Structure 1
Amino acid sequence: MAPTETAIWCVQHTVKDIADDAASVPYGKPLANHQIHILNDRLEPCPTWVTGEMYIAGDGLALGYLNDKQKTAELFIKHPQTGERLYRSGDLGCIMDDGIIAIQGREDGQVKINGHRIELGEIESTIAAHPAVKDVAVVNLSTDGNLAAALVVKEVTNSEIIFSELGTLLNDKLPKYMLPTHFFTLDTLPLSQNSKVDRKQLKVQLTQLQQQLTTQYEAPFDNHVERTVAQIWRDLLNVTEVSRHDDFFQLGGTSLNAINLLSAFLAAGFDADIDLIFNHAVFSEMSEALAKANEAKQAWLESIDLNSMATEALEGLADALPYDSNSEPKTLLLTGSTGYLGSYVLREILDTTDYRILCLMRCDDIQHGFSRLEQAAAEKGLPTAIPHERIQIISGTMSEPYFGLSNTDYQALSAQVDVIVHNASIINLMDPLSALYPTNVEGAREIIRLASSHQVKPVHYISTIGVHHALPSDVPQPVVEHTQVVPWREVELTYEQSKIMAETLFTEARRHGVPVNILRPGTITWATTETPFINDDAFLKFYRACLNIHAYPASELAVNIVPVDYVATCITAIVKGATGQNSNFHLVSDQSTDVAQIYNWFNELGCDIQPLNFITWKDKLNDNFVRSFVELYFKQGMDSGGHHQYATDNLKSILAQFSLPNFAVSRDYLKPLTQKYNNA
């Protein structure tokens, strides 16, 4: 058996015993001179048991469709890598362990919504179980998820009762993401020429019916939440009126501008996440969910007591041996060892010290931990040879009390560690504080707990220069290293909030006798090697967005970028030369660099990126991440970014001990970026 496009027969399977619970008969294996490939969306082979689309090749392939060049070009394709001529069957299947192909439905019978692959036939069979339903077909009315079911029902049947009963039935049988949003009754389902349901025509028909269902307009309530949400919707969707019954996605929203919606909510102070938007798309429901989330957020924020948290973490001090500044540390605990900066720090410590290194990380077992270290190094072009004799894997979770370790394992860890480099951090700039708090703040608490147990251990905490972004614009320049940070409750940006909270905890630990150095890197960028790994971070996204529209926002803003390998060198030098101190270090380049200077260098290196007024530039942006980032971080314009010049006296003193140079940004440093992305 096979499609007509492959000379009728291209596969065979001998049917023997069939299990009672089998959903279908296997499709089989291809005949001689025929090939069947199960490929993903990128035309790559799918692993065993992974669903993909079935492509057929071989001698039996037809030349195409008679007098239909468009359809021939659409379905008879040439593989971009192998050059093999393929027929795109539209069937979904997988290859089982024995090499036999199993059919799993049609491509047009499956849809993907918010990351979920949905088999429409499963929804249809569940609906068809209702005794009043004669026929049913389900289609998706929008790319972002708007399932609609068309029913043909028996005569003299109250459709409203059926819809209600179906709602109960489907809620019991199917997950929420598979539930139809709309039900429609039709006299008949539209059929194609071969008597199958014409889903394209049905989609057009149901879309028209949906548009005819005009909901009575209801203005948003006159309260802070609904006024704010309404204004955000109007600005984002470019509409003049918003009803409480409007659906964000039916009003023109997409999964892409849902990201913009999220950033607007965060900028407005709401404790939102992307799931809230997808799960509460109707205005009234979204507003109610935001209001409840805000109430919970306020109650949670009011409950945070960093003094009490520090006191709890420092309870072990009473029984701990004091820090011995004359002892030579031998064992170092490193957190965040698989991250962007962490991989470079681990390599620098391995190459320039004799420390035995304990790496605390999430992993299934020791082998998995080493595998993660090697993979992280390989991704960044670093040496993948990880010396097992110098590294010990500690499988634990930063935010859990005692890292989730047993008492025996925790006591053994505490007894081994001489010095701590705490680098682990969640650095999603657009996450709500509640998402950052467990790792960034509770993780700091756990490091203090460890540092103050058994014997007091010196800590090097990797913070961020961003803790100074909330300083007043008239603060003396350069900002000196002992400058007191703004209290976290006075800061709007959540990532900076979380790092200030952690610094507050570590400052309290200092006050009680735990030596803590606080290290504040600038915007970490690619290494100074000839062909460095370039991290897909906010800086890169911003550059590529500007490159794409040939414009950057004219601004007096100065930014401080610093290479990741230089930061790792600084951290290691501070560990070797300043362990046991209570100092702050700005790990930044000598001077913050004007935005205009950076883009002048880009242009000298072959780019074409010209200055534009901030508003005009923002209107031209077509990158949703960058637009969201700008809305959140530069609400009042680019000149309000809070960046400063930073003093580096403490850092220079340490670097001088090891004859290490300071870093200054230059045009040549930008070359790897322009060489890789100038035409992107």
Structure 2
Amino acid sequence: MSSNSFSNQGVLIHELVEIQVAKTPDAIAVIFQDQQLTYRELNEKANQLAHYLKSLGVKPDVLVGVCVERSIEMIIALLGILKSGGAYVPLDPAYPKDRLAFTIEDTQIPILLTQQKLARSLPLYQGHSLYIDADWEKIAQQSENNSFSGVESHNLAYVIYTSGSTGKPKGVAIEHRNTVAFIDWAKEWFSAKQLQGVLASTSLCFDLSVFELFVTLSCGGTVILAQNALQLPDLPAAQKVTLINTVPSAIATLLRMKGIPASVETINLAGEPLQNSLVQQLYQLDHVHQVFNLYGPSEDTTYSTVALMQKDATETPTIGRPISNTQIYLLDSQLKPVSDGMEGEIYIAGAGLARGYLNRPDLTDEKFIPNPLSKEPGSRLYKTGDLAIRLPDGNLKYLGRIDHQVKIRGFRIELGEIESVLVKHPKVSQTVVVAREVSTNDKRLVAYVVPNSTSEPTRQNLMIRDLRDFLKLELPDFMIPAAFVFLEELPLTLNGKIDRRALPIPKWTCMEQGVYLAPRNSRETQLAELWSQLLGVDQPSIHDNFCELGGHSLQAIQLVHQVNEIFHIRLPLASFLEMPTIAGMAQNIESLYHADVAQLTKNEETEVELDSAIYPENILTEPIPEIFLTGATGTLGAYLLYELLQQTRADIYCLVRASSIEEVRAKIQNALKRYGLWSDRLSTRIIPVLGDLSQPYLGIKPEQFARLAEKIDLIYHCGAWVNVAYPYSALKAANVLGTQEILRLASQTKTKPVHFISTIDVFSVTSSNTLRTIKEEDVAGPTSSLGNGYAQTKYMAEKLLIEAASRGLPISIYRPSNIVGDSKTGICLTDGFITLMLKGCLEMGVAPDIEAMLNLVPVDYVSQAIVLLSQKQEPCTQAFHLVNPEPIEWKQLIEWLNKMGHSIYLDSYTTWYSQLLKLAAQTSDNTITPLAGLFANQYLVQKLLGAFYFDSQEPLKTLATSNLTCPPVDDELLLNNFSHLLKYHGSCKSQLLTTHSGGLISV
């Protein structure tokens, strides 16, 4: 089965673009948000880059890495590399460092083309890093004329890495002639009108991007860049999109969102099995004229077959016939053609076949074999591993895979690669990963795990979190299983192979004593229905725990909001989280939270008293102190650990809650890697300590606690359970009693100064909207005035510290204001409270006119300030406010967003909140509708944003003498921290918020 026609033999990819530049130099080539380039401008900039790359030694078949965010610069980078004669190797900035490091090592790229903002998040690289942003001034000095590179059609154009069954990704090496043959077909198949505006939403690491970019630029169309397909409705140029090229699951979501613009006439779907029901829904849009189903592996340059779906058809969609320049064979195990209607494996031949796999001659020989059915010298077949039958009309019907490769949301995944990583975990004995179809266009990965030892259910929950963290070190997010199922052994067939059909379907159930207790009244029945819809479980028992059924914090907020709407009440989220069962919710729906606050206020003076046994002993000073640190896996804690490693020669003992020392070590490493702070050379000074702040003696055996007290000389207590939605009673053990255990450690054997990380929220009274001026010597609290349980616990912890200080223990307290991301990169806090608030307001087009003073301090500045102040000050009892002398008003931040091109106006808080409630009632996808209950308290929202002026001259002077000043709140700081918001606003919802202490709030 074949189709042949190739009119551009010998032509190069960039030459096709140059031909189009000559035809339509002033036409718009690419649009990204509010930026655009004409064909002439794109070509000139790409030429300048090409000449510069050639000066660095780039020539035919030289590989150049490309790691840039989606932007116009990304298009310039690709075209510039091709024009220089080199071949590009895409590296997705969102991938784990380990995976990027593997690609860099495997390709041995001499040059990495990236952006300076990404430098810190990239793996160590010994070659030449060229920053397309920071280095553009010298690049721009090069000629704007077309570059002659000496490249020929058989030279490489790009290398894309795909999942590997052995756990080792493989690079598919594509030559210019392969891509040109593909472009040649596309220009014949699609009209210039269809390609007038093409949505480019696919990562460069996937070959659908080749169609979106190079087909479009070769025919005079406009590339309309997006971060992902679901961003389409929010694009300024959305109404210019004429063709969408994506996967069925994404188009189905766009359809549900009513997000397909009226300008779209053609839709290309590939990467997943296509359902006819989806096709017919698309055709119900009057403006959609053609829906194509396409099939093809990366090894055959994007697409190999095509089928035009028919309107009103009832048959299962086929993958059609071969595109031009391509031959499709259905062969049996003996490489003999099968009869029509018989199952056979798909083998592909033709002009699109890749050179092979980079640096994998064995795999190349296995998959790219001599073509026994052709007399043409050198003809090859690619063995796809896909099964199909040929129908009487000549079209191919796709049946599935021979092996365990799957495609989920268009991502090609070798299940063996996930298994090979997972089995390396020290607690995993055996594992198998499968893809299960939950519903139409919703397939999810499930990992079945046989642990080395039997775990209790609560331990299994901890292990699941650890397994996810472990996998994220090496695998991109789309390869992380959605569910983990623990088995005593894997089921086997009679011949000893794993029986995948016998693997149980994941189901979250956790019934008290294994007994199902049905709802006892109408209220419990309504709640059970809500739980079932939200969690996807059948018949939850009234005593089932919400979290153990798989519920997460964002779902808890959604549930409470729905309950408030249905029952016409104002149930605080905290009340539910104290007793997260249907029975508890029904019984205590109105009183739990208020009873909790009232009880704390009544008994504040006697609530917690410092243990009388805690008295400091003789002070011992070491020339190089051993340091004890809590909270090292949190955001501020990770930065604090990094600064202590940089600024001291001490060994750092890090207390982390986990199930093993190995898990502690992995969590610390994961945290540092997440923020680009990890360094192998410092790892020997990190001493993992297995423990738990909420337990007596920090969860350490008393004899080990005593030995630790002998070793360490200095304590930084940064750890806490940070959650503004949880009540005081839920947080007390970790935050208050945990602090008492820290003081016990500080006082035992020898006196150790304690540096305690608190929060400015200890001054957050919610009875007034007046902005206060705060000084270091001001007294915090009292608890009755504080608006949330987290602030109450920090206030009570400070009272314990002050009592310990009165007994002679050196204490320093640090109270940061609104911690934001790294001042240079913006890394870490893309989903903080302020960011979520801004997202929601952007989506509404309106923000509340609220008096709030945002005091933004970058996390790297806070960590540096704590270490510097702790080193400069003599042991004493003192509080330091780590604040920014140049705050910004909430209204100013809204004005800045408008200056950046957004449209958002201010309205009264009452009017704004009413609009938010209407959206919540309509089950709107607005980012903050699940938080509607939180926004009921205007004063609390004001405090979370910022309600203080600060008089903090002394610490600022001390820091200034060491040349450490807080970065001003200017365009650079705002862009670094909110660029993610500006690019992605509305495209995702967060499960985490950030409070002023820099910890994480599960909400």
- What is the TM-score when the length of structure 1 is the normalising length? 0.63
Select 2:934's aligned residue among 629, 632, 642.
632
CA displacement 1:360-401 (0-9 Å, x = unmatched): 111333332221111111112223426243221111111211
| AA of the residue aligned to 2:618 | P
Name the structure 2 match of 1:52: 435
1:272 maps onto 2:575 in alignment = yes
Q: Is the 8 A contact 1:322 1:456 kept in 2?
A: yes
CA displacement 1:297-334 (0-9 Å, x = unmatched): 4797489676684431x5142xx53336x764611111
Q: Cα distance, 1:607 vs. partner?
A: 2.8
| AA of the residue aligned to 2:533 | T
Name the structure 2 match of 1:209: none
Name the structure 2 match of 1:214: none
Name the structure 1 match of 2:588: 289
1:647 maps onto 2:955 in alignment = no
Q: Cα distance, 1:407 vs. partner?
A: 2.3
| AA of the residue aligned to 1:418 | D
Q: Secondary structure at the match of 2:864?
A: helix
Q: Cα distance, 1:679 vs. partner?
A: 3.8
| AA of the residue aligned to 1:519 | Y
Select 1:322's aligned residue among 618, 623, 640.
618
Q: Is the 8 A contact 2:850 2:942 kept in 1?
A: no
Q: Secondary structure at the match of 2:680?
A: coil
Q: Secondary structure at the match of 1:393?
A: strand
Distance 1:503 1:41, change over 3 A: farther
Q: Cα distance, 1:142 vs. partner?
A: 6.3
Q: Is the 8 A contact 2:913 2:936 kept in 1?
A: no
CA displacement 1:412-448 (0-9 Å, x = unmatched): 1101111111000111211122221111111111111
1:258 maps onto 2:559 in alignment = yes
1:345 maps onto 2:735 in alignment = no
1:35 maps onto 2:418 in alignment = no
Q: Could you tell me how far apart the structure 2 residues matched to 1:547 and 1:534 are?
A: 18
CA displacement 1:621-680 (0-9 Å, x = unmatched): 456773565643661468853711012223213303422123321122111344323242
- Structure 1 unaligned segments of length 5 or more: list them: 12-29, 56-70, 78-93, 125-138, 150-169, 179-253
Q: Could you tell me how far apart the structure 1 residues matched to 2:725 and 2:930 are?
A: 8
Name the structure 2 match of 1:596: 891
Q: Cα distance, 1:587 vs. partner?
A: 0.8
1:668 maps onto 2:966 in alignment = no
Q: Is the 8 A contact 1:270 1:290 kept in 2?
A: no
Distance 1:303 1:452, change over 3 A: farther
Q: What is the RMSD computed on CA atoms of the aligned residues?
A: 4.6
Q: Could you tell me how far apart the structure 2 residues matched to 1:335 and 1:76 are?
A: 41
1:525 maps onto 2:836 in alignment = no
Name the structure 1 match of 2:806: 511
Of stretches 295-304 and 453-462 in structure 1, the one that deviates more from structure 2 is 295-304
Distance 1:648 1:508, change over 3 A: same
Select 1:102's aligned residue among 500, 525, 545.
500
Q: Is the 8 A contact 1:358 1:394 kept in 2?
A: yes
| AA of the residue aligned to 1:102 | R
Distance 1:347 1:623, change over 3 A: farther
Q: Could you tell me how far apart the structure 2 residues matched to 1:334 and 1:287 are?
A: 42
Q: Cα distance, 1:569 vs. partner?
A: 0.7
Of stretches 408-417 and 486-495 in structure 1, the one that deviates more from structure 2 is 486-495
Select 2:791's aligned residue among 496, 500, 507.
496
Alignment of 1:609-628 (within 5 A): 609-621=904-916, 622=924, 626-627=928-929
Q: Could you tell me how far apart the structure 2 residues matched to 1:406 and 1:526 are?
A: 37
Q: Cα distance, 1:460 vs. partner?
A: 0.7
Q: Cα distance, 1:482 vs. partner?
A: 0.9
Q: Is the 8 A contact 2:596 2:727 kept in 1?
A: no
CA displacement 1:146-182 (0-9 Å, x = unmatched): 9889xxxxxxxxxxxxxxxxxxxx99xx99699xxxx
Q: Could you tell me how far apart the structure 1 residues matched to 2:926 and 2:867 are?
A: 37
Distance 1:540 1:302, change over 3 A: closer
Q: Secondary structure at the match of 1:322?
A: coil
Q: Cα distance, 1:286 vs. partner?
A: 3.9
Name the structure 2 match of 1:198: none
Name the structure 2 match of 1:58: none
1:419 maps onto 2:714 in alignment = yes
Alignment of 1:182-201 (within 5 A): none
Q: Is the 8 A contact 2:839 2:927 kept in 1?
A: no
Select 1:567's aligned residue among 859, 862, 865.
862
Q: Secondary structure at the match of 1:562?
A: strand
Q: Percent identity?
A: 24
Distance 1:578 1:268, change over 3 A: farther
Distance 1:102 1:338, change over 3 A: same
Q: Secondary structure at the match of 2:824?
A: coil
Q: Is the 8 A contact 1:273 1:432 kept in 2?
A: no
Alignment of 1:163-312 (within 5 A): 257-260=558-561, 272-274=575-577, 276=579, 279-280=582-583, 286-290=585-589, 293=592, 297=596, 301=600, 309-312=608-611
| AA of the residue aligned to 1:52 | A
Distance 1:10 1:654, change over 3 A: farther
Q: Is the 8 A contact 1:559 1:592 kept in 2?
A: yes
Q: Could you tell me how far apart the structure 2 residues matched to 1:261 and 1:440 are?
A: 31
Q: Could you tell me how far apart the structure 2 residues matched to 1:434 and 1:667 are?
A: 41
Alignment of 1:468-487 (within 5 A): 468-470=763-765, 478-487=773-782
Q: Is the 8 A contact 2:842 2:902 kept in 1?
A: yes
Q: Cα distance, 1:270 vs. partner?
A: 8.2
Q: Could you tell me how far apart the structure 2 residues matched to 1:262 and 1:419 are?
A: 48
Distance 1:50 1:292, change over 3 A: farther
- What is the TM-score when the length of structure 2 is the normalising length? 0.44
CA displacement 1:179-215 (0-9 Å, x = unmatched): xxxxxxxxxxxxxxxxxxxxxxxxxxxxxxxxxxxxx
Distance 1:322 1:527, change over 3 A: same
| AA of the residue aligned to 1:321 | E
Q: Cα distance, 1:520 vs. partner?
A: 0.4
Distance 1:422 1:624, change over 3 A: farther
Name the structure 2 match of 1:194: none
Q: Secondary structure at the match of 1:528?
A: coil
Q: Is the 8 A contact 1:140 1:148 kept in 2?
A: no
CA displacement 1:556-599 (0-9 Å, x = unmatched): 22121211111111111122112512111111111332101112
| AA of the residue aligned to 1:676 | H
Distance 1:564 1:117, change over 3 A: same
Q: Could you tell me how far apart the structure 2 residues matched to 1:266 and 1:505 are?
A: 37
Q: Is the 8 A contact 1:602 1:674 kept in 2?
A: no
Q: Is the 8 A contact 1:524 1:561 kept in 2?
A: yes
Q: Could you tell me how far apart the structure 2 residues matched to 1:552 and 1:476 are?
A: 19
Distance 1:495 1:143, change over 3 A: same
Name the structure 2 match of 1:251: none
